[in-house]
Chain A
Amino acid sequence: MSECAVQRDSCCREPAELKIVAFLCNWCSYAGADKAGGSALPVPPELSVVRVMCSGRVEPTLVLETLRQGADGVMVLACHPGDCHYKEGNFRALCRAELLERLVVQLGVDPVRFCFDYVSAAEGEKFSRITCEFAARLRQLPPIG
């Protein structure tokens, strides 16, 4: 718990002001997020999880719209390569993420605001860590829009 608390102390914005949306695939990342809960690991309260069946479901426009709606940052979390419940959805997601990372720069958005990563059903600790780190990075940025 301390990790988040420390980061929050050092940040320049109040937690309530921050808005983060995380798209989690049902089979790995969502289960990993549940695992973080089971282990009582900290997750930033500003994070709102949107469950999708597969990370391959998240089209780039959905991420861009989420930013336009006022999210300070968007995460897309997938199964590790080779572990996708739908065989290759996470590879599609990876390709789209690489495209997005370049696209947001063109739109004048700091690429820090978008995060693609892998979280397995066992990685509650990783889920906690990367969400806290992402929130900490976002707090260093001015409000979006």
Chain B
Amino acid sequence: MTMRYPRTAVILCACSGIISEKIDWTRVETLLADHPSRPLFRQDQLACGSDELDGLCRWLQEVKAERVVVAACSPREHQATFRGLLSRAGINPWFLQLVNVREQGAWVTEDAAAATLKATRLIRGALERVNRHRPLAARSIPVHTRVAVVGAGPAGMQAALTLARAGREVVLIEKEPMIGGLPVRYDELFPNLECGPCLLEPVMGELLHGPESEQVTLLTLSEVTAVKGSFGNWILSVRQKPRFVDVEACIGCMICQEVCPERRQNGWNRAGELAAIGVPFAGALPNLPHLDTASCRKFRGEPCEICSAECPVEGALDFEAQERELELEVGAIVLATGAEERPTLPAGFAGRDLMSAYSFERLIATNGATGGDLVKADGSAPVSLVLVQCAGSLDAGHTPYCSGVCCREALKLAHLAAAKVEGLTVTRLIKEQSVPGLEAGRQLHNDHAAVVRYGRFDALSLEEGPAGRVLKTGEGTEVPADMVVFLNPVLPGAGTAQVAELLELPRDGAGFLGQLHTLAESCAAPLRGVYLAGSCRGPGDVREAFATGTAAAGLALSALVPGRDLVIEPEVATVRPEACAGCRTCLKLCPYRAIEWDDAARMARVNDLLCRGCGTCVAGCPSAAIDGLGFTRDMLRAEIKGVLS
């Protein structure tokens, strides 16, 4: 079969003698002279040099080159340089084939004649391949620069503020009636015993009332229910439950809470009661009550409107408020859905004054159920406290991993408890200890608790002894246990599981959100345009929440720049409609969910926004209906034929 070869220019780079001391370019020209493409050769001293590039550009124009082969260094070094050269010469940049005769030729071949033959063979492959190249072009599409942040804990707030400071519009979506996440409910934070609200209230204040607040739309009591689209153009469906309080009119006086005759369990404190309308704890922001329809007498059909009668602002209470469904158009999504503690007791444990670390935090918090007094259920102060660390961690039957934060938490709790009750005996039960960092080292140094090592969580037992209740380890050690606090593993939050399902994001073995790369890209999801902040990525502390919130915002800022369209690289997979059998094998193969099923056309379609051009689907398609642009079957076969001929 005869074919017309396009006019092919071949640039042979000496690399200032580094290549030409092994490869005889004149000999290569002779050996390739009879190639059917009748290549036009030009030897160059240093093709990547700026002066030489000018000369090469003129030469390519003079010889009216249609394809260009450059035999020089690794494409990892100068592919972009030579694509730029083609562009300048008015040739489609994808009509280039770079042959690596330096790193993979001259430098690895001792014998000059062998190196020359190898270069000849590789260039022959390139001549065959480049002939099959098709013009490609990067495509660009406009993007939304608005960003949705899901979760208003420290990580989400920091991400939202960072974005807002850069002038971005942000929608901050929080499922709770208030923001601040878990640490705002803690009186003190490890390792420095810094006050949680003191750290977070200024951040919340800035979000709600600072200059950046203009840029931030806060949606409390809201959850994402559906996600469509892709990077740059997401559409989020959000369901917002009614607060029954007009957020614009309410002045936050909390008279409604004072006059409400009804009580409900305070789930946020895991202890005590709360009015049917009000805030779960003093200082909760935004400073707005919310009404719980399950406990409100009016919503139960009783004739009670005491709150609205006593409210000093007319119309601030709105019993008619309805659930809202919103649709948000955003360019990127920052997930900051957090982690949670799932209280777990050892098998067979029951009795009084057994609680999780969170419950204990709320017990000793000055805005908690007891006003900060450390007391047992009967109201008296405990005489002994056991902090059970690794409570269900490092345990094949429960949670296999170490959360890495609980030791510092336990050291803090031991310190706070001892300061609250004079003479309190504190014991820390540990399996292992992880206390990294200088400041945490000080915590450990200043710890006065007795430390007892134990083996199996489920082997722990409680016994009433003559001197009061004791906790017994499986190894037989007994410690006084008037009150017992369990530091359970940090697990992915319910919100994290929910967004993972909505966005079909991969999760790690523990259920946390999978990352684009666990070391280098830990704040990016494998799905383009989705960034991760805080403990949805895995157990973390407040410092990490702030750091990753900033990082996720930075990634969103650098990915979506106002006025800069999204450039879609053209080396992506593409499906030939006539060849697609509709087996859907590729849908499962794609690591980026870039292939969709078009039910109307009964075929697979590649979304070039999401495709990263790996070619796994190309290799996996049983009908050979998918091809990878830039690396088509045709090109690879031609290259192979060339190097083997």
Residues in chain A within 8 A of chain B (CB atoms): 1, 4-5, 15-16, 19, 21, 26, 30-31, 33-34, 36-38, 40-43, 45-46, 48-54, 56-59, 62, 65-66, 69-71, 85-89, 92, 96, 128
Q: Does B103 contact A (CB under 8 A)?
A: yes
Asked whether, in the complex, the Cβ of B616 is within 8 Å of the Cβ of A57, the reply is yes
Tell me how far the C-beta of A130 lies from the nearest C-beta in chain B, rounded to whole angstroms: 13
Q: Are B117 and A54 in contact, with the CB atoms below 8 A?
A: no
Q: Are B620 and A53 in touch, CB under 8 angstroms?
A: no
Task: Give every chain B residue within 8 A of A58 (Cβ-Cβ).
Answer: 619
Name 9 A/B residue pairs within 8 A (Cβ), A-sorted: A42-B110, A43-B109, A45-B117, A48-B643, A50-B643, A54-B616, A70-B644, A86-B616, A89-B591
B342 within 8 A of A: no
Extra pairs beyond A36-B108, A57-B615, A69-B641 (16, CB < 8 Å): A16-B114, A37-B74, A42-B108, A45-B109, A53-B614, A53-B628, A54-B614, A54-B616, A57-B618, A66-B640, A70-B644, A71-B640, A71-B644, A86-B614, A87-B591, A92-B589
A1 to B526: give the CA distance in the assembly, Å.
42
Q: Determine whether B178 belongs to the interface, using a CB cutoff of 8 Å to chain A.
A: no
B639 at the interface (CB under 8 A from A): yes
5 nearest A-B residue pairs (beta carbon): A57-B615, A37-B103, A86-B614, A56-B616, A59-B619
In the complex, chain A residues whose CB is within 8 Å of the CB of B639:
50
**Which residues from A are CB-within-8-Å of B75?**
51
The B5-23 residues at the A interface (CB cut-off 8 A) are none
A118 to B122, CA, bound (A): 23
Judging by beta carbons under 8 Å apart, are A48 and B615 in contact? no
Number of A-B contacts (CB under 8 A): 127
Inter-chain contact A41/B614, CB cutoff 8 Å: no
| B59 beta carbon closer than 8 Å to chain A | no
Say what secondary structure dominates the interface of chain A. Answer: mixed
B62: Cβ under 8 A from any A Cβ: no
CA distance A59 to B589 in the complex (A): 13
A37 touches B108 (CB 8 A): yes
Interface pair B114/A15, CB less than 8 Å apart: yes
Closest to B125 in A: A48
**What is the minimal beta-carbon distance from A94 to any residue of chain B, in angstroms?**
12
Inter-chain contact A34/B76, CB cutoff 8 Å: yes
In contact, A87 and B644 (Cβ under 8 angstroms): no
Given A33-B103, A52-B631, CB of A45 within 8 Å of CB of B125: no
A1 to B643, CA, bound (A): 24
B104 CB contact (under 8 Å) in A34, A65, A70, A71: A34
Q: B613-645 interface mask toward A, CB cutoff 8 Å, 1 = contact, 0 = none?
A: 111101110000000100101001101110110
User: Is there an interface contact between B616 and A1, defined as CB atoms closer than 8 Å?
Assistant: no
Q: Is the CB of B408 closer than 8 A to any CB of chain A?
A: no
Taking a contact as CB atoms under 8 Å apart, the answer to whether B640 and A21 are in contact is yes
User: Which residue among B104, B114, B620, B636 has the maximum number of chain A CB atoms within 10 Å of its CB?
Assistant: B104
For the complex, give the distance between the alpha carbons of A41 and B104 in Å: 10
Cross-chain contact A96 with B108 (CB below 8 angstroms) = no
B614 x A56 contact (CB < 8 A): yes
Q: Check if B133 is an interface residue, CB within 8 A of chain A.
A: no
Contact partners of B102 in chain A: CB under 8 A: 37
Q: Are A16 and B615 in contact (CB under 8 A)?
A: no
Known: A5-B110, A21-B643, A87-B591. A49 touches B615 (CB 8 A): no
Alpha-carbon gap, A46 to B122, bound state (A): 10
Question: From residue 588 to 619 of chain B, which have CB atoms closer than 8 A to chain A?
Answer: 589, 591, 612-616, 618-619
Asked whether, in the complex, the Cβ of B631 is within 8 Å of the Cβ of A53, the reply is yes
A50 touches B640 (CB 8 A): yes
* Chain A residues with CB below 8 A from B103, complex form: 33-34, 36-38
The answer on a CB contact under 8 Å between B111 and A45 is yes
Contacts of B107 in A (CB 8 A): 37-38, 40
Q: Please, which residues of chain A bring their CB within 8 A of the CB of B636?
A: 50, 52, 62
B612 CB contact (under 8 Å) in A1, A62, A86: A86
A65 partner residues in chain B, CB cutoff 8 A: 637, 640
Task: Determine whether the beta carbon of A19 is less than 8 Å from that of B644.
Answer: yes
Chain A residue contacts of B109, Cβ below 8 A: 42-43, 45
